[in-house]
Amino acid sequence: MVYNENTGNMTKFRFEDLEIWKFAIDLGLSIMETADEMDERKFWRFADQTRGVAMSISNNIAESTGTNRIGEQQQLLRYARRECFEAANIVILLHKKDLISESKKDQIKSSLSILSRKIYNYSNSLEKL
């Protein structure tokens, strides 16, 4: 949190107002639910990998707001975008192993595709600042 000298209060982190971060958090929670289901079925390694990628996307978006250097921000956003592709790959593998349904796979992949485009567009918009 950032201390606001004018009011003496703590304010939000910059990333908390970003639509792409909010989208990534919601998607990450959905992906984590899938990981929880795998834990119940004793597929712990799959669950850990799935949980890790779910957190990494929003973590990189949040971390990108911690610098004022456009190049650093864009690098972290590229990491977040690549994590979307990793998550899509994991979801496809989980479906092929019959660990998630086709509808769940399609829903998550669709959301990952949307998020990937949002991250790309946001990153490009930073150059115009």
Q: What total of structural domains would you count in the chain?
A: 1
Question: In CATH, what number is assigned to the domain containing residue 69?
Answer: 1.20.1440.60
- What residue numbers bound the domain in which 73 lies? 2-126
15 DSSP 8-state letter: G
Which band of pLDDT confidence, cut at 50, 70 and 90, is reported for residue 65? Answer: very high
Confidence of residue 126 (pLDDT cuts 50, 70, 90): very high
Mean pLDDT of 107-111: 98
Residue 26: CB atoms within 10 Å: 13
pLDDT at 6: 58
And the tokens for 75? Answer: 């690098």
